[in-house]
Structure 1
Amino acid sequence: MCSDKKQPAIFLAMALSVPLAAWADPLWLGRFSASDAAIPAPWKIEHLDQRVPPTEYKLRQWDGVFAIEARASKSMALLGRIATVNLKKTPILCWQWRIDAPVASADMNRKSGDDYAARVYLTFVVPPEQLGFATRTKLRLARTIYGDQVPDAALNYIWDNRHPVGTLQDNAYTDRARMLVLRSGARQAGVWVQERRNVLADFHKAFGEIGGELQGLAIASDTDNTGEEAHAGFADFRFVESEEACPITKNQQETGHLNVLQPTS
């Protein structure tokens, strides 16, 4: 089934209605624990297309890691939150994720193959004067159709099925969203993998030397186009300074999941 989902990241702002002040430490964007009875605010599920079943999200302890578990079955939904972080001060995003297997028939070159076992979305606000006339026109049209939640730019970190790590290209639906392959294939499936990304550097690599303020963060597993199933986990999202190591979390201390694999460069 090929849904008319467009690029899901353009809808991220729909899910970002809870004030950032709800968190005591704004650098931690996703630190889950046994004390959480449910997915905590300001994280919010956004079901984008009512014709498509939503991906299911829940908290669980997975191999000792308190995490968000995502299960997709011919489905799509985002789990997102506000992420107003000063990237000049803390440009490094750290997190852990895992998949059971990649989406076998996915192909990010085609709209009908735009599915991933795991994605991390980041959306940005760009000063209007730094967007070309054609881009501003396309954004105005998109916002006429979908509302003001359409972001100026979106960067997607993906766990792909076939493209080499480091591949960077436009999303199949829009050139305002760029896809960056961090993991590919099944070799690293079945274990927690730690990531460390310089979001500011990746943003400039994807969109050029323009200004951009981080607006939101979301995670997803989606299989609505291919009709397959996917199972993924996400944990321990935190921004740190350039020279600061990714923190060793309580999850990792208690389970020994310390740098399971080297982060991608």
Structure 2
Amino acid sequence: MLRWIIFLYSVAVCVNVQAATNVTLLSDNGIESWASKVFSGESIYSVEDYKGRLALKALSHHSASGLVLEKQIDLIATPYLNWSWLVEQTLSQLDEQSKAGDDFVARVYVVIDGGFMVWNTKSLNYVWSSNQDKGLVWNNAFAGSSVKMMSVRGQQSQQGLWYEEKRNVYQDLIETFGDKGSQKANRKAYQYIDMIAIMTDTDNSGKDAETYYGDIIFTEK
């Protein structure tokens, strides 16, 4: 009987581990497997302890570069994206829906790679907006409707404070890019993402930003 209980416990532990994917794993230098993507100047990313937790520090001085991980995530198995972030310096007086103001102190975003059919490539950006309200969705000023911006944090959010976030990416993709009309069609369109990225950018505004990101984890619930 005892062996059976131990077996069931071990199975439950395995299932729990399989239902969560830490894509940064800051404590074990997992962020080193992420590739740098430079758009305009290079933001500085480093891992350090900050205000009670291990964090990825991002400094942007009139620059726009991010970190990208090519990893397929099954959103039916682990639809929830969990992360924490803290902003020490926001960007004032920007129209973030314009090309001149398309800068964000913090972005965590996912990409569906369309491959050769580039028109099928889609990206959903979860952003910390310096000048807009929380909960808005709009098309990216440069990429149009293929890149959606969602203000998870807005101008009322406090600087210097850690915020914990949790988003159902699968449902967000359906809501932002459109319901395909059936569960089968939605799964075909949105079940898998192919890339995750982090970026703090201030190239368009010519300003500075300082941001901290915690581990990014996909979970079943």
- Normalised by the length of structure 2, the TM-score is 0.81
Does the aligned pair in 2 maintain the 1:55–1:73 contact within 8 Å?
Answer: yes
Q: Could you tell me which residue of structure 1 aligns to residue 212 of structure 2?
A: 233
> What 5-or-longer segments of structure 2 have no aligned partner?
1-16, 181-188
> What 5-or-longer segments of structure 1 have no aligned partner?
1-23, 129-135, 141-150, 245-265
Q: Could you tell me which residue of structure 2 aligns to residue 76 of structure 1?
A: 64
Distance across 1 between alignment mates of 2:157 and 2:121: 35
Choose from 26, 44, 51 the match for 1:63. 51
Q: Could you tell me which residue of structure 2 aligns to residue 192 of structure 1?
A: 162
Higher strand share: 2
Q: Could you tell me which residue of structure 2 aligns to residue 173 of structure 1?
A: 142
How far 1:209 moved relative to its partner?
Answer: 2.1
Choose from 169, 173, 197 the match for 1:218. 197
Q: Deviations over 1:104-162 (max 9, x none)?
A: 1322221010001101111013599xxxxxxx6xx46xxxxxxxxxx710000000022
Q: Deviations over 1:11-52 (max 9, x none)?
A: xxxxxxxxxxxxx9771111212x54xx6432121212xxx3
SS of the residue corresponding to residue 89 of structure 1 reads coil
How far 1:187 moved relative to its partner?
Answer: 3.4
SS of the residue corresponding to residue 61 of structure 1 reads strand
Q: Deviations over 1:197-233 (max 9, x none)?
A: 0000101111012412201111111000000100001
Q: 2:26 matched to 1:41?
A: no
Matches within 5 A, 1:7-156: 27-33=21-27, 36=29, 40-48=31-39, 52-125=40-113, 139=118, 152-156=121-125
SS of the residue corresponding to residue 27 of structure 1 reads strand
Distance across 2 between alignment mates of 1:169 and 1:191: 26
Distance across 2 between alignment mates of 1:40 and 1:117: 19
Q: Could you tell me which residue of structure 1 aligns to residue 9 of structure 2?
A: none
SS of the residue corresponding to residue 197 of structure 1 reads strand
SS of the residue corresponding to residue 77 of structure 1 reads strand
How far 1:82 moved relative to its partner?
Answer: 1.8
Q: Deviations over 1:46-79 (max 9, x none)?
A: 212xxx3211111111112111100001001011
Superposed CA RMSD in Å reads 2.2
User: Letter of the aligned partner of 2:154 in structure 1?
Assistant: S
How many residues align structurally?
194
Q: Deviations over 1:159-185 (max 9, x none)?
A: 002222110110001221000010012
Does the aligned pair in 1 maintain the 2:60–2:208 contact within 8 Å?
Answer: yes
Percent identity of the aligned residues? 27
Runs of at least 4 residues off by over 2 Å: 125-128
Q: Say if 1:126 and 1:103 are closer, same or farther in 2 by CA, change over 3 A.
A: same
Distance across 1 between alignment mates of 2:90 and 2:126: 14
Distance across 2 between alignment mates of 1:101 and 1:114: 16
Does the aligned pair in 2 maintain the 1:101–1:186 contact within 8 Å?
Answer: no
Does the aligned pair in 1 maintain the 2:68–2:196 contact within 8 Å?
Answer: yes
Distance across 2 between alignment mates of 1:178 and 1:40: 25
